[in-house]
Each structure stands twice: as structure tokens, then as C-alpha cells.
């Protein structure tokens, strides 16, 4: 990782200052395949306010000089919405055991240089330090391999999450409704959960 990239973590109230930066980054990166998410700045800022008021929420920020180039965010899964918690409850999982990695995103030109791993590593340290979560969970978009919208050069992040110690759980899925770029209404998108057990002894 280049020496000029700085990684800094923020918690709860401190997060408020970064909401516009996170919103801009989310809109730019989630517009890419496989999300193709048509984000709106105002809605994003409103959605992100929950980080600033959620106990144990974390935002890890990567900077190139003073520019925010990547983030990893997380909060207790118990603070997720009811539909997502229901997925875990239906499989007899205790939502209080899980810390949720909400997003880990990095501008394209900085990828493949170890920055993403650093962001995740710091988030994991925080998740462990709370000493109340047994697992970290996240969900990814589950588009089919023969999806006609899939760009030729696209690399799924599945192998990346496996490298960070996550296992895919095809039995834990849900449909997320959002508007894709160039669509005029929201459509359903299948999401799959990935889970990593936290080794609390380290
Ligand atoms: C996912 C993401 C944050 C990873 O960041 P990154 O800086 O590119 O990843 P790193 O360089 O730290 O990679 C760590 C390891 O994973 C590997 N890796 C990274 N992306 C990979 C991929 N798509 N497929 C397979 N391996 C991958 C790297 O080769 C590296 O392996 P190594 O340790 O053996 O060298 C970044 O690619 C990204 O922002 N992607 C788009 C947004 C996204 O899909 N986010 C996840 C859902 S929120």
C-alpha cells in the first residue's frame, strides 16, 4: 500500500462529519456492476445519518492526502432493518451475536494495492474490541454468472471475501428493492449473506 494513503477510524458522533463524503463515494461506486444502483445524494445523506446515532457504529476512512478514497462501515446487526433480521431469526441465529459490515468500497484507481484489506482489518479490530459479537456478516449482490449486464472485465468480490475469512451462506438471502441506473422504477435484487467468525482470543 502506498505510504501516502492514510487510514483513520471514526465512531458514532464523529461520523457526522463524513456523511457527504461517504454519500458521494457510495453513489459513484454502487453505480458500478453488480449494483448498478441509481443513488440520490439527499437520500444517501439521510440514510447515512443512522451511523452517527448508532451505538458501536464505525467508519474506517482511507485518504489520499485529504481526499476520501475509500471507506469500510459497520454497526451492530441488531440495528439492521426488520426484514434483514428476520432472515437470521428464521435460521435460528441470534442477531445480537453479529456485527454488520455495511459496505467496503474503494475508488477504482486505488484497488488491488492492499487498501481494501487495511480498511477491513481495522473494522474487524473494532468489532472484536467490543467483545460482544461472535461474527461479522455482510451481504453481496447475487447476480447470475450469465447476467447480460455483466461487463467482460468484471471480477466478482466472492474470492476477495473468502480471502478475508468469510463463508458464503446461500441459505441466507433476501430481495433488496432499488432503482437501477436507466430504469424508471425500483426492481428486486437478490442478496446473499457472508459470515466470518471472530476469533475473540487474539
Ligand atoms: C472490494 C474492495 C474494497 C477490495 O479492495 P482492494 O483494495 O481492491 O483489495 P486488496 O488489494 O486489499 O485485496 C486483498 C486481497 O484480495 C484479492 N482481491 C481483491 N479483489 C479481488 C477480487 N475481485 N477477486 C479475487 N481476489 C481479489 C487481492 O488480490 C489481494 O490478494 P493477496 O492478499 O493474495 O494479494 C474493492 O475492490 C472495491 O471497492 N470493489 C467495489 C465495491 C465492492 O464490491 N465492495 C464490496 C461490497 S460493499
Number of neighbours of residue 109 by Cβ within 10 angstroms: 9
Confidence tier at 199 by pLDDT (50, 70, 90): confident
Pocket perturbation via mutation, ligand 1, pick of 25, 32, 39, 112 by most ligand atoms within 8 A of CB: 112
Expressed in angstroms and rounded, the spacing between residue 113 Cα and the centre of ligand 1 is: 9
Domains along the sequence of the chain with CATH = 5-197 (3.40.630.30)
- Whether the predicted pLDDT of 202 surpasses 80: no
C-beta 29 within 6 A of ligand 1:
yes
C-beta 160 within 6 A of ligand 1:
yes
pLDDT tens figures, 153-168: 999 999 999 999 999 9
pLDDT tens figures, 49-80: 988 899 999 999 999 998 999 999 999 999 99
Amino acid at each position: 500500500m502506498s505510504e501516502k494513503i492514510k487510514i483513520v477510524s471514526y465512531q458514532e458522533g464523529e461520523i457526522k462529519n463524513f456523511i457527504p463524503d461517504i454519500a458521494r463515494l457510495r453513489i459513484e461506486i454502487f453505480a458500478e456492476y453488480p449494483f448498478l444502483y441509481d443513488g440520490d445524494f439527499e437520500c444517501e445523506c439521510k440514510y447515512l445519518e443512522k451511523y452517527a446515532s448508532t451505538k458501536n457504529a464505525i467508519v474506517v476512512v482511507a485518504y489520499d492526502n485529504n481526499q476520501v478514497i475509500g471507506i469500510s462501515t459497520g454497526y451492530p446487526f441488531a440495528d439492521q432493518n426488520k426484514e434483514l433480521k428476520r432472515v437470521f431469526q428464521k435460521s435460528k441465529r441470534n442477531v445480537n451475536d453479529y456485527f454488520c459490515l455495511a459496505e467496503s468500497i474503494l475508488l477504482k484507481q486505488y484497488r488491488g494495492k492492499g487498501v481494501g484489506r487495511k480498511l477491513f482489518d481495522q473494522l474487524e479490530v473494532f468489532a472484536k474490541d467490543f467483545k460482544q459479537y461472535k461474527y461479522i456478516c455482510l451481504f453481496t449482490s447475487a447476480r447470475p454468472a450469465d447476467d447480460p449486464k455483466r461487463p467482460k472485465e468484471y471480477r466478482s468480490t466472492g474470492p476477495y471475501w473468502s480471502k478475508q475469512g468469510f463463508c458464503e451462506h446461500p441459505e441466507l438471502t433476501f430481495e433488496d428493492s432499488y432503482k437501477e441506473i436507466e430504469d424508471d422504477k425500483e426492481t428486486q435484487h437478490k442478496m446473499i449473506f457472508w459470515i466470518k467468525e471472530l476469533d475473540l482470543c487474539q
